[in-house]
């Protein structure tokens, strides 16, 4: 449900405690006011983005995938036996963020939509640094993909917010990939669209690549319902137990949602998307599936018995299976 509108509202240097800059090719990236300014001042970043755009699109095997939905993030290490790739897709105005420590291989992927970028970026940084082995030297490398030149400039705003937030962190962070907004834009039949909607990161090697995901589970409707009803960025994976964890979360019953099930595709796109002409083909079906789920579960108590999260573990056949809390 990437780019949807909610109906419910919305490595540190020794001895230093000051904010550290974003770096590229070991040189500081000063405060920027736009993505076009970034690309004009740092031509190598634009060249790297152009190369990234030309990479082949990879369909990721769900048996090795940890899929991250909108307003979710997940982190793990190369020692994880259940996950080889963390991925996320269907991003239009949203941005996909990968942060990786080169020494330990600790990797986090987040799907940000601008709901509260300033507080979300520290969660991403902390998720990676918490998994780093202090004995292994390395640096934090950042990959940003997503957004396009949309009419409302939603992508531009989110790009600026992400840069500003990372520049306020106490760790040195090296920008390796920046395929966002202007550089991720293509015009087809007069309509602006993203070139890349999804990415994966191989947690064993650190490779980041354009991706598509036929399977976006487990618990796709539940997870979409959480973000659709205003849930904030949530960590959905415990790599120490190799378990995917959803909730518990709550939403208020709303019979008014049933109205949308009878609306045509154009109306749903116009009112429930931040980028109605750039959404993937399954957007409307996905929205209606989420709304049906909310109508079928007006009370979340039955979804989270005893207030416990839903937990999923990789089975011997490679599928995510629900397990007891």
Higher pLDDT, 162 or 12: 162
User: Distance (Å, rounded) from C-alpha 110 to C-alpha 54?
Assistant: 23
For range 263-272, the mean pLDDT: 94
CATH architecture of 22-242: 2-Layer Sandwich (3.30)
Q: Is it the case that residue 8 has pLDDT exceeding 50?
A: no
Give the chain's mean pLDDT. Answer: 92
What pLDDT score does 254 carry?
80
User: Distance (Å, rounded) from C-alpha 10 to C-alpha 21?
Assistant: 30
Read off the pTM.
0.93
For range 102-107, the mean pLDDT: 96
Q: Tell me: the pLDDT tens digits for 59-76?
A: 999 999 999 999 999 999
CA torsion angle 246 250 256 260 (round to 10): -10
For range 126-137, the mean pLDDT: 89
User: Distance (Å, rounded) from C-alpha 131 to C-alpha 138?
Assistant: 13
What pLDDT score does 5 carry?
52
What pLDDT score does 32 carry?
84
Q: Tell me: the pLDDT tens digits for 171-223?
A: 999 999 999 999 999 999 999 999 999 999 999 999 999 999 999 999 999 99
């Amino acid at each position: 449900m990437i780019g949807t509108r909610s109906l419910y509202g919305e490595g540190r240097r020794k001895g230093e405690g000051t904010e550290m800059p974003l770096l590229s090719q070991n040189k500081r990236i000063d405060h920027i006011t736009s993505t076009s300014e970034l690309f004009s001042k740092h031509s190598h970043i634009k060249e790297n983005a152009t190369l990234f755009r030309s990479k082949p699109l990879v369909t990721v095997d769900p048996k090795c995938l940890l899929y991250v939905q909108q307003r979710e993030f997940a982190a793990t290490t190369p020692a994880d036996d259940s996950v080889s790739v963390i991925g996320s897709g269907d991003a239009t105005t949203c941005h996909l963020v990968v942060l990786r420590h080169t020494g330990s291989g600790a990797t986090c992927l987040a799907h940000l939509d601008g709901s509260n970028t300033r507080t979300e970026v520290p969660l991403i940084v902390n998720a990676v640094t918490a998994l780093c082995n202090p004995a292994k030297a390395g640096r934090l490398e950042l990959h940003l993909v997503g957004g396009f030149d949309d009419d409302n400039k939603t992508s531009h705003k989110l790009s600026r917010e992400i840069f500003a937030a990372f520049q306020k962190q106490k760790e040195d962070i090296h920008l390796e990939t920046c395929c966002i907004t202007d550089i991720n834009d293509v015009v087809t039949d007069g309509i602006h669209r993203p070139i890349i909607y999804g990415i994966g990161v191989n947690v064993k090697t650190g490779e980041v690549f354009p991706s598509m995901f036929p399977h976006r589970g487990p618990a796709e409707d539940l997870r979409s319902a959480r973000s659709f009803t205003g849930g904030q960025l949530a960590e959905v994976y415990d790599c120490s137990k190799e378990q995917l964890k959803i909730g518990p979360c709550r939403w208020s019953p709303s019979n008014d949602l049933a109205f949308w099930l009878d609306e045509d595709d154009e109306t749903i796109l116009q009112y429930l998307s931040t980028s109605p002409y750039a959404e993937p083909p399954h957007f409307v079906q996905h929205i209606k599936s989420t709304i049906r789920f909310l109508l079928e579960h007006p009370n979340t108590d039955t979804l989270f018995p005893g207030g416990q999260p839903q937990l999923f573990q990789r089975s011997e056949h490679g599928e995510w299976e629900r397990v007891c809390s």
